[in-house]
A and B are shown apart, each in its own frame.
Chain A
Amino acid sequence: MPKLKIDGLEIEVERGTKVIEAAARLGIIIPRFCFHPGLGPVGACRVCAVKFEEGPVKGVQMSCMTDAQDGMVVSTTDEEAADFRKHVIEWLMMNHPHDCPVCDEGGHCLLQDLTVAGGHGIRRYLGKKRTYNDQYLGVFVQHEMNRCIQCWRCRRFYQEFAGYRDLGALQIAHHTYFGRATDGQLESPFSGNIIDICPTGVYTDKPSRFTGRRWDFERGPSLCIHCSLGCHIITSARYREMTRLEARFSESVNGYFICDRGRYGFYYTNHPERPRRARIRTEEVSLDQAIQTAAQKIIQINQKNGPKAIACLGSARSCVENQAMLIRFCRVQGWNEPTYFETPTMAKKVKRAVARLDEQLAVSMREIEKADFILAVGADPVNEAPMLALAMRQAFRNEATIVVIDPRPVFLPFEFEHLPVAPDDLEPCLTALIKGAVHRSAAEKMGEEALRFYDTAPAEYPDAPIKNRMVKITQKLRQSRYPVIICGTSIVRETTPDVAADSALLLRAARGRAGLFYLMSEANTFGAALLSSEEGSVMDVVESIEKGSVKGLMLVESDPFRSFPDYERLKQAVDKLDLFLVMDYLPSFAARLAHLFFPTQTLFEMETSFVNQEGRVQFATSAYRGGIPISQISAGGHPLRVFRRDIPGGESQPAWQILAKLANIISLPGREMFSLSKNELWSWIAKEYPIFANVPIADELPDDVRVHLAQGREKLFPSGGQIRSGGLSRENSTLELVMGDWTFGTEELSTYSKYLQQVEKEPCLFMSPKDASMLGLKDRERITLPLDKGRLEMELRIVDTMAPGVIVMPKHRQLAWQKIEKWPVKVAMGQIRK
Chain B
Amino acid sequence: MVCAGTGCVSCGSLQLRERLEAELKDRGLADEVKVVITGCNGFCAEGPIMVVYPEGIFYKKLTPEDVPFLVEEHFLKGRPVQKFLYTGPIVKEKVPLLKDIPFFEHQVLRALRNRGLIDAENIDEYIARDGYAALSKVLSSMKPEEVIQEVKTSGLRGRGGAGFPTGQKWEEGRRYDSFPKFVICNGDEGDPGAFMDRSVLEADPHSVLEGITICGYAIDAHQGYVYVRAEYPLAIHRLNIAIEQARNYGLLGKDILGSGFDFDIGIYPGAGAFVCGESTALMYSLEGKRGMPRIKPPRSTEAGLWSQPTVLNNVETFANVPPILLKGGQWFASLGTEGSKGTKVFALTGTVQNVGLIEVPMGTTLRKIVFDIGGGISDKREFKAIQIGGPSGACLPSSLLDLEVDFDSLDDAGAMMGSGGLVAMNDSTCMVDTARFFTDFSVDESCGKCVPCRVGLKVMLNILNRITTGQGTMEDIDLLEQLGKHIKSSSHCGLGKSAPNPVLSTIRYFRNEYEAHIKEKRCPALVCTSLIKFRVDPEKCKMCGLCKKACPMEAITWEKKTPAVINVEKCIRCRSCIQACKFTAIE
Contacts and interface: CB of A to CB of B under 8 A. Distances in A.
B490 A65 contact: no
B462 A46 contact: no
A127 B491 CA distance: 22
B463 A125 contact: yes
> What is the interface of chain A mostly: helix, strand, loop, or mixed?
loop
Interface stretch (B54-62, B94-102, B453-461, B506-514): B453-461
B490 A49 contact: yes
Nearest to B447: A172
B180 interface: no
Contact of A174 (B275, B443, B491, B492): B443
Contact of B492 (A43, A87, A125, A126): A43
B347 to A, nearest CB: 25
Given A173-B444, A176-B448, A87 B275 contact: no
A60 interface: yes
Contact of B290 (A92, A169, A174): A169
Nearest to A151: B451
A42 B445 CA distance: 20
Interface centre among B273, B455, B462 (most CB of A within 10 A): B455
A173 to B, nearest CB: 4
Contact of B448 (A41, A88, A174): A174
A636 B443 CA distance: 50
B448 A65 contact: no
Interface in A95-130: 95, 124-127, 130
A303 interface: no
Contacts of A49: 490
B448 A94 contact: no
B463 A45 contact: no
Contact of B490 (A41, A46, A149): A46
Contacts of B343: none
Contacts of B492: 43-44, 46
B451 A44 contact: yes
Contact of B454 (A43, A125, A174): A174
A91 B459 contact: yes
A126 B455 CA distance: 13
Given A95-B455, A126-B462, A84 B449 contact: no
Counting chain B residues whose Cβ lies within 8 A of the other chain, the interface size class is 20 to 34
Interface string A46-72: 110100000000001000010000000
A176 B454 contact: yes
B158 interface: no
Q: Which of A41, A47, A125, A175 has the most CB of B within 10 A?
A: A125
A44 B455 CA distance: 12
Interface string B53-85: 000000000000000000000000000000000
A80 to B, nearest CB: 10
A152 interface: yes
B295 interface: yes
B445 A88 contact: no
Nearest to A124: B479
B466 interface: yes
Given A172-B275, A172-B446, A88 B451 contact: yes
B452 interface: yes
Nearest to A84: B490
A150 interface: yes
A171 interface: yes
Given A49-B490, A84-B490, A173 B450 contact: no
Contacts of A152: 449
A43 B479 CA distance: 25
A46 B445 contact: no
A174 to B, nearest CB: 5
B19 interface: no
Contacts of A149: 451
A88 B466 contact: no
Contacts of A176: 448, 454
B486 interface: yes
A183 to B, nearest CB: 21
B295 A65 contact: yes
A46 B454 CA distance: 12
Given A169-B290, A174-B443, A42 B455 contact: no
Interface in B243-301: 273, 275, 290, 295
A91 B453 CA distance: 10
B489 interface: yes
Contacts of A95: 455
A94 B455 contact: yes
Given A124-B479, A125-B462, A125-B463, A91 B455 contact: yes
A91 B452 contact: yes
Contacts of A42: 295, 449
B448 A125 contact: no
A169 B448 contact: yes
Contacts of A169: 290, 448
B479 A174 contact: no
A42 B296 CA distance: 10
Contacts of B458: 94, 127, 130, 174
A128 B451 CA distance: 17
Interface string B469-504: 000000000010000001001111000000000000
Interface in A124-146: 124-127, 130
Contacts of B455: 91-92, 94-95, 174
Given A124-B479, A173-B443, A46 B451 contact: yes
A46 B456 CA distance: 12
Contact of B486 (A84, A92, A130): A84
A47 B491 CA distance: 11
Given A60-B489, A92-B455, A172-B444, 9 more contacts: A65-B295, A84-B486, A87-B490, A88-B451, A88-B452, A92-B451, A125-B462, A174-B448, A175-B448
27 contacts: A41-B295, A42-B449, A43-B295, A43-B449, A44-B450, A45-B450, A46-B450, A46-B491, A46-B492, A47-B451, A49-B490, A84-B489, A87-B486, A87-B490, A88-B451, A92-B451, A94-B458, A125-B479, A150-B448, A169-B290, A169-B448, A172-B444, A173-B446, A173-B448, A173-B454, A174-B455, A176-B448
**Closest 5 CB pairs between A and B?**
A176-B448, A127-B462, A91-B455, A173-B446, A174-B458
